Amino acid sequence: MTIKEYIPTYVGTVTKYVFIDSPNITPQTLAIRAYEISEGLMVKETCFGLQITGEPEQVKKLIVELRKVDSAHILVKDRGFPPVDPRRSRANLGGARPGYYGHEFECGLLKFVSHGLEELDKKKPKPVPQMSKKKLDQGKLPLNRLIEIISNEEA
Protein backbone atom coordinates (compact mmCIF):
# COMPACT_ATOMS: atom_id res chain seq x y z
CA MET A 1 0.00 0.00 0.00
CA THR A 2 1.42 3.35 -1.01
CA ILE A 3 0.88 6.37 1.12
CA LYS A 4 0.11 9.49 -0.85
CA GLU A 5 0.61 13.07 0.15
CA TYR A 6 -2.62 14.92 0.85
CA ILE A 7 -2.89 18.39 -0.66
CA PRO A 8 -5.99 20.17 0.64
CA THR A 9 -8.23 22.34 -1.51
CA TYR A 10 -10.27 25.40 -0.57
CA VAL A 11 -7.84 26.21 2.24
CA GLY A 12 -8.93 29.16 4.39
CA THR A 13 -12.54 28.99 3.27
CA VAL A 14 -15.66 28.09 5.18
CA THR A 15 -18.75 26.28 3.94
CA LYS A 16 -22.16 26.94 5.44
CA TYR A 17 -25.48 25.21 4.98
CA VAL A 18 -28.46 27.55 4.76
CA PHE A 19 -31.69 25.68 5.52
CA ILE A 20 -34.99 27.29 4.65
CA ASP A 21 -38.31 26.04 5.94
CA SER A 22 -40.60 28.93 5.12
CA PRO A 23 -44.17 29.05 3.79
CA ASN A 24 -43.29 32.15 1.77
CA ILE A 25 -39.76 31.64 0.44
CA THR A 26 -38.46 28.73 -1.63
CA PRO A 27 -34.80 27.69 -1.86
CA GLN A 28 -34.86 28.92 -5.45
CA THR A 29 -35.91 32.44 -4.43
CA LEU A 30 -33.24 32.48 -1.77
CA ALA A 31 -30.64 31.23 -4.24
CA ILE A 32 -31.48 34.05 -6.68
CA ARG A 33 -31.13 36.58 -3.84
CA ALA A 34 -27.78 35.00 -2.91
CA TYR A 35 -26.51 35.11 -6.49
CA GLU A 36 -27.42 38.81 -6.66
CA ILE A 37 -25.34 39.79 -3.68
CA SER A 38 -22.59 37.15 -3.56
CA GLU A 39 -19.32 38.61 -4.68
CA GLY A 40 -17.13 35.73 -5.81
CA LEU A 41 -18.62 33.22 -3.38
CA MET A 42 -19.57 29.73 -4.45
CA VAL A 43 -23.32 29.28 -4.00
CA LYS A 44 -24.90 25.89 -4.58
CA GLU A 45 -28.66 25.51 -4.58
CA THR A 46 -30.02 22.36 -2.95
CA CYS A 47 -33.46 20.96 -2.19
CA PHE A 48 -33.36 22.30 1.38
CA GLY A 49 -31.65 25.64 0.76
CA LEU A 50 -28.11 26.57 -0.12
CA GLN A 51 -24.48 25.76 0.46
CA ILE A 52 -22.19 28.76 0.48
CA THR A 53 -18.40 28.55 0.28
CA GLY A 54 -15.86 31.35 0.45
CA GLU A 55 -13.81 33.65 2.65
CA PRO A 56 -15.22 33.66 6.22
CA GLU A 57 -15.93 37.40 6.31
CA GLN A 58 -17.70 37.43 2.95
CA VAL A 59 -19.79 34.38 3.84
CA LYS A 60 -20.77 36.03 7.12
CA LYS A 61 -21.90 39.20 5.32
CA LEU A 62 -23.94 37.21 2.81
CA ILE A 63 -25.66 35.24 5.57
CA VAL A 64 -26.56 38.42 7.44
CA GLU A 65 -28.26 39.66 4.24
CA LEU A 66 -29.99 36.34 3.58
CA ARG A 67 -31.37 36.16 7.11
CA LYS A 68 -33.20 39.45 6.46
CA VAL A 69 -35.39 37.63 3.90
CA ASP A 70 -37.12 35.51 6.56
CA SER A 71 -35.15 35.48 9.78
CA ALA A 72 -37.23 32.99 11.76
CA HIS A 73 -37.32 30.36 9.01
CA ILE A 74 -33.70 30.46 7.84
CA LEU A 75 -31.20 28.41 9.83
CA VAL A 76 -27.48 28.26 9.18
CA LYS A 77 -24.94 25.59 10.06
CA ASP A 78 -21.24 24.99 9.45
CA ARG A 79 -20.09 22.24 7.10
CA GLY A 80 -16.67 20.63 7.26
CA PHE A 81 -16.35 19.64 3.62
CA PRO A 82 -16.70 21.91 0.60
CA PRO A 83 -19.58 21.13 -1.76
CA VAL A 84 -19.16 18.30 -4.29
CA ASP A 85 -16.23 16.82 -2.36
CA PRO A 86 -15.83 13.26 -3.71
CA ARG A 87 -15.22 11.91 -0.21
CA ARG A 88 -18.62 13.04 1.01
CA SER A 89 -20.81 13.85 -2.00
CA ARG A 90 -23.71 11.46 -2.54
CA ALA A 91 -22.98 11.65 -6.26
CA ASN A 92 -19.96 9.42 -5.62
CA LEU A 93 -21.12 7.42 -2.64
CA GLY A 94 -24.74 6.75 -3.58
CA GLY A 95 -27.75 7.42 -1.38
CA ALA A 96 -28.10 10.15 1.21
CA ARG A 97 -24.93 10.83 3.11
CA PRO A 98 -25.04 10.03 6.85
CA GLY A 99 -25.33 13.63 8.00
CA TYR A 100 -28.62 14.12 6.23
CA TYR A 101 -30.45 11.81 8.62
CA GLY A 102 -29.62 14.20 11.43
CA HIS A 103 -30.72 17.17 9.35
CA GLU A 104 -33.93 15.37 8.41
CA PHE A 105 -34.72 14.79 12.08
CA GLU A 106 -34.08 18.40 13.06
CA CYS A 107 -35.94 19.78 10.03
CA GLY A 108 -39.04 18.06 11.45
CA LEU A 109 -38.69 20.22 14.56
CA LEU A 110 -38.03 23.49 12.75
CA LYS A 111 -41.70 24.48 12.85
CA PHE A 112 -41.54 24.65 16.66
CA VAL A 113 -38.20 26.45 16.69
CA SER A 114 -39.34 28.97 14.05
CA HIS A 115 -42.52 29.58 16.05
CA GLY A 116 -40.37 30.27 19.09
CA LEU A 117 -38.20 32.70 17.15
CA GLU A 118 -41.28 34.53 15.81
CA GLU A 119 -42.77 34.86 19.28
CA LEU A 120 -39.44 36.13 20.58
CA ASP A 121 -39.39 38.80 17.85
CA LYS A 122 -42.92 39.88 18.78
CA LYS A 123 -41.90 40.33 22.40
CA LYS A 124 -38.93 42.46 21.44
CA PRO A 125 -39.74 46.11 22.32
CA LYS A 126 -39.88 48.29 19.24
CA PRO A 127 -37.30 51.07 19.20
CA VAL A 128 -38.80 54.39 20.25
CA PRO A 129 -37.49 57.47 18.46
CA GLN A 130 -35.52 59.48 20.98
CA MET A 131 -36.34 63.17 21.27
CA SER A 132 -33.10 65.03 21.52
CA LYS A 133 -32.60 68.56 22.76
CA LYS A 134 -32.65 71.19 20.07
CA LYS A 135 -29.28 72.74 19.63
CA LEU A 136 -29.11 76.45 20.31
CA ASP A 137 -27.85 77.39 16.87
CA GLN A 138 -29.99 74.86 14.95
CA GLY A 139 -31.56 76.52 11.89
CA LYS A 140 -29.68 79.75 12.44
CA LEU A 141 -26.99 81.35 10.31
CA PRO A 142 -23.60 79.88 11.27
CA LEU A 143 -21.13 82.38 12.76
CA ASN A 144 -18.47 81.68 10.13
CA ARG A 145 -20.94 82.37 7.34
CA LEU A 146 -21.99 85.67 8.99
CA ILE A 147 -18.38 86.82 9.26
CA GLU A 148 -17.87 85.90 5.62
CA ILE A 149 -20.89 87.95 4.51
CA ILE A 150 -19.78 90.98 6.55
CA SER A 151 -16.27 90.81 5.17
CA ASN A 152 -17.65 90.59 1.61
CA GLU A 153 -19.91 93.58 2.23
CA GLU A 154 -16.99 95.62 3.56
CA ALA A 155 -14.88 94.71 0.54
Partner 1 sequence: MAKVFIFPTTSLVLSDMVERWGHEALGAAVGIREKIQTPSLESPPLQMTPEDPKKGLKYAAVEVPCGVRGRMSLYGPMIEEADAAIIINDSDLSFGCMGCARTNELVMFMLRQRKEMPLLDIKYPETEDEGIAFVTQIKDFLAGLEGENDE
Total residues at the site for partner 1 (CB under 8 A)?
43
Residues numbered 65-94 forming contacts with partner 1, rule: CB under 8 A: 67, 75-81, 85, 87-88
Instruction: Name the E strands within 21-69.
Output: 42-45, 49-54
Q: Which stretch binds partner 1 (CB under 8 A): 34-42, 105-113, 129-137, 147-155?
A: 105-113
CA–centroid distance for 131 within its chain: 33
Euclidean distance between CA atoms 101 and 93, whole angstroms: 15
- Provide the minimum distance between the beta carbon of 65 and partner 1 in the complex, in angstroms, as a whole number: 14
Q: Partners of 16 in the beta sheet?
A: 52, 78
* Burial of residue 2, with CB atoms counted within 10 A of its CB: 0-12 exposed, 13-18 middle, 19 or more buried: exposed
Q: In terms of CB distance, is 87 or 142 closer to partner 1?
A: 87
- Provide the minimum distance between the beta carbon of 117 and partner 1 in the complex, in angstroms, as a whole number: 6
Residues numbered 3-42 forming contacts with partner 1, rule: CB under 8 A: 3-8, 10-12, 14-15, 17, 19
- Cβ neighbors of 54 (< 8 A, separation 6 or more) are 13, 14, 38, 40, 41, 42, 62
Residues numbered 119-148 forming contacts with partner 1, rule: CB under 8 A: 119-120
Q: In terms of CB distance, is 19 or 30 closer to partner 1?
A: 19
Q: Partners of 43 in the beta sheet?
A: 52
- Provide the minimum distance between the beta carbon of 132 and partner 1 in the complex, in angstroms, as a whole number: 28
Q: In terms of CB distance, is 31 or 59 closer to partner 1?
A: 59
